[in-house]
Amino acid sequence: MGVKSFRSADWFGKSSKDGFIHRSWMRNQGLPDDVFDGRPVIGICNTWSELTPCNAHLRDLAERIKRGVWEAGGLPLEFPVMSIGESNLRPTAMLFRNLVSMDVEESIRGNPIDGVVLMTGCDKTTPALVMGAASCDLPALVMPGGPMLNGKFRGHDLGSGTDVWRFHDDLRSGKIPLEIFQEAESCMSRSIGHCNTMGTASTMAAMAESLGLTLPMGSSIPAADSRRWALAQVAGRTIVEMVFADRKLSRILTRNAFKNAVRTNAALGGSTNAVIHLIAIARRIGTPLTLDDWDSMGREVKTIVNLQPSGKFLMEDYYYAGGLPAVLRALGEQDLLEKDALTVNGKTIWENCSEAQNWDTDIIRSFDHPLAHSGGIAVLRGNLAPNGAVLKPSAASAHLMRHRGRAVVFENIEHYHGRIDQPDLDVDASSVLVLKHCGPKGYPGMAEVGNMALPRKLLQQGISDMVRISDARMSGTAYGTVVLHVSPEAAVGGPLALVRDGDFIELDVEQRRLHLDLSEQALEQRRNEWNPAELPFYGGYQGLYVQHVLQAHEGADLDFLVGRRGLEVSRESH
Ligand code: FES
């Protein structure tokens, strides 16, 4: 060790004025002479913030990573990037995913960093950090913060998000009083960590693990479990070894790695948000991955993980049952895993999971007794979504998978809020709720409003699901027969913009079809009459975003951020 020259030597290894400046200022942190002996410098990219409750424990976890880095002979240097928490940040954390990725990319490239640990947790923090690091293409390891323990309420378990939607519907329909709704609040979130359902945070951590970017079990151990601290220490040792082996992201993020992630998502009944994020990550590193790949690669994979929102249990139960390694092993035994895919610890994914145990076959089921036969993501096409739309079959209702209904149209989210509970709204259980102008540009950030709450009068009749269609996203903790990410979106003149109240819409998930029952001639006439809704003026970052954001099927990245730019710095500073 120490013979190999790393990138950081260009800062700390010189005897010139530059070397003096780089070392001298670092010494104010009490660093001894020998840390500048050419050892690898490990950046610890931290999304800690008290405004991101899911990541509020990451400073403690970073200390464990540092222990491992020191042990392995590296120099750990922690740095913050913007933290985007789903529960507080307005209008939606997704608006800032690309901004954070820029923060990460430039922080890595501009600093003396040889390898990086990406500390993630809440939903968008995982894709944002991986996207930024992918554009740099250096050795990088993801260390997720882990999920919260099960919520506990009046003798029952409570799942983050999923039970909020359920309680809210019960409150609106009069099934429960406000006191119960309020009492559940503290019971649901009772430990450190991110959402404890298979929502977007758990899904994206699992995507990172199945891509080979975390150590085994990295996505499953609860945040409050001491085994996560131990894993963080090992992660610190591993990243140093990765730098010596030059095991950089482009060696890990191969087409086979993405195949594994897409199939894993199907087996988990994971979040639809993963579709957008993985496409964006793939485009950063330069590995081909399209929306249609999501359908073709994942179609034959059944959902075997019985976790909310598709199933019953929560992340804590899932860890005790065997966690992701048990799922990966099950995929491998069905020949649904690209076994040779490389992972951060230098082993193949199969070497990491082939001995994994499944301790509870009700939580992690077998492929012979799955939770849902049609797992994966259904990619729908038709005259309503020429560039595709997605639906999660495992979270949808079987009786609505083939459906024809009359559209009830909301021009935007404000129109929806003003209209949905009007007593005279012409709607019944067979109607199709259509929400426009919530795509990447129409509602900058593409808000998670696609799982629109049903009209109160239908809830009171006991209706619990309807077909809903929009260009929005949906929370990974949500459920229902919800068609999302319609592309092109209404704001850029996609056919969704042309739908009117009373039109008939056909959904056929088996045939992957989404059709507006209008002749091409009638559609053309509406297209000619269509006037784009005036978008508000957005200044600052939001203005940049609206100008440059790509459509959902392209990963909703900013057009100028797509691609791998490496680590070359254009100029030295002094
Ligand atoms: Fe942060 Fe759900 S709100 S993971």
All structural domains of the chain, each given as residue ranges with its CATH number in brackets, are 1-37 (no CATH), 39-149+191-353 (3.40.50.2300), 378-529 (3.50.30.80)
Distance CA 342, CA 248 (A): 11
CA–centroid distance, residue 259 to ligand 1 (Å): 26
- CA-nearest residue, atom 2 of ligand 1: 195
**Ligand 1 atom closest to the CA of 54, numbered from 1:** 1
**Per-residue b/e over 199-232, b at no fewer than 16 CB within 10 Å?**
bbbbbbbbbbbbbbbbbbbbbbbbbbbeebbebb
* 295, 328 contact by CB (below 8 A): no
Q: What's the mean per-residue pLDDT of the chain?
A: 96
* 322, 307 contact by CB (below 8 A): no
> Would the pTM of this model clear 0.95, i.e. be above it?
yes
CB of 123 shorter than 6 A to ligand 1: yes
The answer on pLDDT for 2 being more than 50 is: no
Q: In this structure, is the dihedral angle defined by the CA atoms of residues 139, 71, 78 and 228, taken in order, positive or negative?
A: positive
Give percent helix, percent strand, percent coil of the chain, each to the nearest 5. Answer: 40, 15, 45
CB of 199 shorter than 6 A to ligand 1: yes
Tokens, residue 50: 């008290």
Stretch 24-42: mean pLDDT: 97
Q: How confident is the model at residue 169 (pLDDT cuts 50, 70, 90)?
A: confident
Per-residue pLDDT tens over the stretch 334-364:
999 999 999 999 999 999 999 999 999 999 9
Distance CA 337, CA 79 (A): 35
The answer on pLDDT for 574 being more than 70 is: no
* 444, 509 contact by CB (below 8 A): no
Pairing of strands 156-158, 151-153: antiparallel
Per-residue pLDDT tens over the stretch 244-273:
999 999 999 999 999 999 999 999 999 999
φ, ψ of residue 14 to 5 degrees: the values are -95, 150
Q: How confident is the model at residue 573 (pLDDT cuts 50, 70, 90)?
A: low
Pairing of strands 115-120, 140-144: parallel
Q: Which of 122, 124, 277 to mutate to test the pocket of ligand 1 (most atoms within 8 A of CB)?
A: 122
Distance CA 518, CA 218 (A): 49
Share above pLDDT 70 across residues of the chain, in percent, rounded to a whole number: 99
CA–centroid distance, residue 120 to ligand 1 (Å): 11
Distance CA 121, CA 110 (A): 25
Q: How confident is the model at residue 284 (pLDDT cuts 50, 70, 90)?
A: very high
Query: CA angle at residue 143 from 568 to 311, to 5 degrees?
Result: 130
Distance CA 545, CA 440 (A): 9
Tokens, residue 262: 């897409």
Q: How confident is the model at residue 477 (pLDDT cuts 50, 70, 90)?
A: confident
**Ligand 1 atom closest to the CA of 476, numbered from 1:** 2
Omega cis (within 30) before 309:
yes
Distance CA 433, CA 420 (A): 10
Per-residue pLDDT tens over the stretch 44-67:
999 999 999 999 999 999 999 999
Pairing of strands 467-470, 432-435: parallel
Looking only at Cα atoms, what is the longest distance across the chain?
79
The answer on pLDDT for 382 being more than 90 is: yes
Beta strands in 428-548 (DSSP E): 432-435, 467-470, 482-483, 504-508, 513-516
CA–centroid distance, residue 515 to ligand 1 (Å): 34
**pLDDT score of 478:** 83
Q: 103-117, 325-339, 529-543: which has the minimum mean pLDDT?
A: 529-543
CA–centroid distance, residue 197 to ligand 1 (Å): 10
Stretch 390-410: mean pLDDT: 95
Per-residue pLDDT tens over the stretch 296-341:
999 889 999 999 988 999 999 999 999 999 999 999 999 999 999 9
> Could you identify the residue written with the tokens 């960093």?
113
The answer on pLDDT for 4 being more than 90 is: no
**Ligand 1 atom closest to the CA of 86, numbered from 1:** 3
255 versus 172: which is more confidently predicted? 255
CB of 66 shorter than 6 A to ligand 1: no
* 283, 365 contact by CB (below 8 A): no
CA–centroid distance, residue 374 to ligand 1 (Å): 26
Q: Going by C-beta distance under 8 Å and a sequence separation of 6 or more, which residues neighbour residue 113?
A: 7, 8, 41, 42, 43, 77, 138
Per-residue pLDDT tens over the stretch 429-441:
999 999 999 999 9
Tokens, residue 313: 């249990």
CA 411 to each of CA 136, 415, 429, 504: distance values in angstroms, whole numbers, following the listed order: 40, 6, 20, 17
CA–centroid distance, residue 308 to ligand 1 (Å): 14
**Other C-beta atoms lying within 10 Å of the C-beta of residue 467:** 27
The answer on pLDDT for 1 being more than 60 is: no
